[in-house]
Amino acid sequence: MTVDDIEKVVSDFVSATKRSLAAGFQVIEIHAAHGYLMHQFLSPLSNTRSDEFGGSLENRMRFPLMIVKAVREAWPSDLPLFVRISATDWAGGPDELKLVGTGKNPTAKGWIFSEAIIFCAQLKKVGVDLIDCSTGGILADAKIPVGPNYQVPFAEAIRKNVDIMTGAVGLITNAVQAESVLHAESADAIFMAREMLRDPYFPVHAANELKFTIDDRPKQYGRA
């Protein structure tokens, strides 16, 4: 990408933000994870640029921060802005999980969690309200210790070290599990997708399981 290309993408994000506001959306989430464009700039595995957008961490963060700052300026201050990140490329394998909170991973050559912490601190400075904490996406053969709550430690560490709200994701599939993450103050929100596809009425079933009464469901649903 040329510098003109980069500036055009930033402008396109601003235009999309304005369209979202006009359409009535009340939350925006910028996707900077999973090998998409902003993650490609952040990770030294994919970013081999030699200009002001490559090399050092400061340079690799420059383009994503340009986008986020521009979106924040175009998005009303009273509406929340989320950013989804990959907290690690898992270039160091499962050991990255053991090193959460230590600020280092000497075995990894990709995007590592200590860099993600610094990036999140910068995101907070430009007005981001919540970090959606996922992982991976650059390496097709990354060794990821996939299992229930496997990404929650990243959300917890970012929450504590950056003092910003976080969302936990990844194989969180039932109400008690999700509620336990919140009660442990490991995250401020649970983001779910595949479970909602499997069970479109998951919120109702979760409320029943947790003995919570939903008072604002449409009256037409009452008969069911």
- DSSP one-letter code for 147: S
Alpha carbon distance 34, 88 (integer Å): 10
Residue 201 annotated as catalytic: no
**DSSP states of 156-188 as a string?**
HHHHHHH--EEEE-SS--SHHHHHHHHHTTS-S
Catalytic annotation, pick one of 36, 150, 201, 221: 36
Alpha carbon distance 149, 173 (integer Å): 9
3-state helix, strand, coil in the chain (%, to 5): 45, 10, 45
Alpha carbon distance 210, 205 (integer Å): 9
Q: Cβ atoms within 10 A of the Cβ of 18, count?
A: 13
- Hey, which bits of the chain come out as E strands? 28-32, 81-86, 130-134, 165-168, 189-190
Amino acid identity for residue 100 in this structure = V
Amino acid identity for residue 160 in this structure = K
Task: Give me the active site residues, please.
Answer: 36
